[in-house]
Chains A and B, each alone.
Chain A
Amino acid sequence: MTETTTRTAPDSGTEVVLPVHTDLLRLATAGSVDDGKSTLVGRLLHDTKSVLADQLDAVHRASADRGLQTPDLSLLVDGLRAEREQGITIDVAYRYFATPQRSFVLADTPGHVQYTRNTVTGASTAQLAILLVDARKGVIEQTRRHAAVLALLGVPRLVLAINKIDMVDFDAAVHERIAAEFAGHARALGYADDAVRTIPVSALHGDNVVERSANTPWYSGPSLLEHLETVPVAPDPFDAPFRMPVQYVIRPRTAEHPDYRGYAGQVAAGVVAQGDEVVVLPAGIRTRVSQVDTPDGPAPRAAAGRSVTLLLEDDVDLSRGDLIAAADSAPRVTDELDATVCWLAEKPLQPGARVLVKHGTRTVQAMVTELSARFDEQELVAVDAPDSLALNEIGRVQLRTAEPLPIDEYAASRRTGSFLVIDPADGTTLAAGLIGLPLAPLAAAVAS
Chain B
Amino acid sequence: MTAEPQLDLPQDPVSTGAPPQVDNLDALESEAIHIFREVAGEFDRPVILFSGGKDSTVLVHLAIKAFRPAPVPFPLLHVDTGHNFDEVIEFRDRLVAEHDLRLVVSSVQDYIDDGRLAERPDGIRNPLQTTPLLDGITENKFDAVFGGGRRDEERARAKERIFSLRNAFGQWDPRRQRPELWNLYNGRHRPGEHVRVFPLSNWTELDIWRYIQREKIALPEIYYAHRRQVHLRDGMWLTSGPWGGPREGETVEEKVVRYRTVGDGSCTGAVESEAYTVDDVIAEVAASRLTERGATRADDRMSEAAMEDRKREGYF
Contact = CB atoms under 8 A, between A and B. Distances in A.
A415 B181 CA distance: 10
Closest 8 CB pairs of A and B: A427-B188, A54-B294, A79-B155, A9-B287, A252-B70, A307-B33, A295-B65, A24-B24
7 contacts: A18-B286, A23-B22, A52-B290, A94-B201, A250-B69, A295-B68, A358-B184
Interface of A: 1, 7-12, 14, 16, 18, 21-24, 52-55, 58, 62, 76-82, 84, 90-96, 98, 103, 105, 117-118, 120-121, 124-125, 232-236, 238-239, 241-242, 247-248, 250-254, 256-257, 260, 264-266, 270-271, 273, 275-276, 295-296, 300-301, 303, 305-307, 320, 326, 328-329, 344, 358, 361, 414-415, 418-420, 422, 426-429, 432
Nearest to A257: B69
Given A14-B287, A248-B67, A307-B33, 10 more contacts: A1-B15, A12-B287, A53-B289, A55-B291, A117-B179, A235-B19, A276-B2, A295-B30, A361-B41, A428-B178
A429 B283 contact: no
B30 A307 contact: yes
Contact of A52 (B13, B41, B68, B294): B294
Most buried by B among A239, A418, A422, A427: A427
Nearest to B288: A52
B159 A80 contact: yes
A61 to B, nearest CB: 9
A115 B61 CA distance: 37
A260 B184 contact: no
B280 interface: yes
Interface of B is mostly: loop
A94 B41 contact: no
B71 interface: yes
B302 interface: no
A58 B175 CA distance: 24
Most buried by B among A23, A24, A266: A24
Interface of B: 1-2, 5-6, 8-9, 12-15, 18-24, 26-31, 33-34, 37-38, 40-41, 65-71, 151-152, 154-156, 158-159, 174-175, 177-184, 186, 188-190, 201-202, 204, 206-207, 273-275, 280, 282-284, 286-291, 294-295, 304-305, 308
Contacts of A344: 179
A1 B158 contact: no
Nearest to B295: A54
Contacts of A419: 184
A158 to B, nearest CB: 19
A418 B21 CA distance: 25
Nearest to A49: B289
A303 B18 CA distance: 13
A52 B183 contact: no
Most buried by A among B8, B29, B30: B30
Given A58-B304, A120-B179, A271 B9 contact: yes
B71 A252 contact: yes
Given A10-B280, A303-B9, A361-B38, A16 B287 contact: yes
Nearest to A260: B69
Contacts of A251: 70
A52 B8 CA distance: 41
Nearest to A274: B2
Contacts of A78: 155
A247 B38 contact: yes
Contacts of A1: 12-15, 21
A3 B55 CA distance: 27
A415 B70 contact: no
B30 A305 contact: yes
A289 B174 CA distance: 44
Contact of B2 (A117, A260, A273): A273
A432 to B, nearest CB: 5
A333 B180 CA distance: 26
A121 B67 CA distance: 29
Contacts of B29: 295, 307
A29 B79 CA distance: 38
Contacts of B304: 58, 62, 84
Contacts of B305: 80-81
A326 B184 contact: no
A136 B7 CA distance: 52
A264 B1 CA distance: 20
A328 B181 contact: no
A250 B19 contact: no
A422 B186 CA distance: 8
A339 B59 CA distance: 37
B174 A80 contact: yes
A61 B228 CA distance: 33
Contact of A429 (B23, B181, B275): B181
B72 to A, nearest CB: 11
B289 to A, nearest CB: 4
